[in-house]
Amino acid sequence: MERRVREAYTVYTDLVGVDSPHTVRAWFMGSNPLLGDDSPAEAMAADRLKAVLAAARAFRDE
C-alpha cells in the first residue's frame, strides 16, 4: 500500500508541473483509453504502474 501511495505521489508531482492540480486529479480519476478505459487510479490499484507511467508521459507530452 505504501509503495502505491509513493508511486501515485510521484506521478502526481510530475504532472502538476505541467497542468493544474484540479486537472491532474481529474486525470487520475477519469477513464483513460491508454489503460483500457480504466482510470489511472484503478490501474495503480491493480499494480499496473508501468502502464500508468506511460499514460502519464503521454498526458504530459500532449
- Asked if the model's pLDDT at residue 1 lies above 90, the reply is no
Helical packing angle, 21-29 and 2-16, nearest 10°: 130
At 24, which amino acid appears? V
C-beta atoms surrounding 56 within 10 Å: 21
- The per-residue pLDDT for 23 is 97
CB 49 within 8 A of CB 7: yes
pLDDT tens digit sequence for 15-56:
999 999 999 999 999 999 999 999 999 999 999 999 999 999
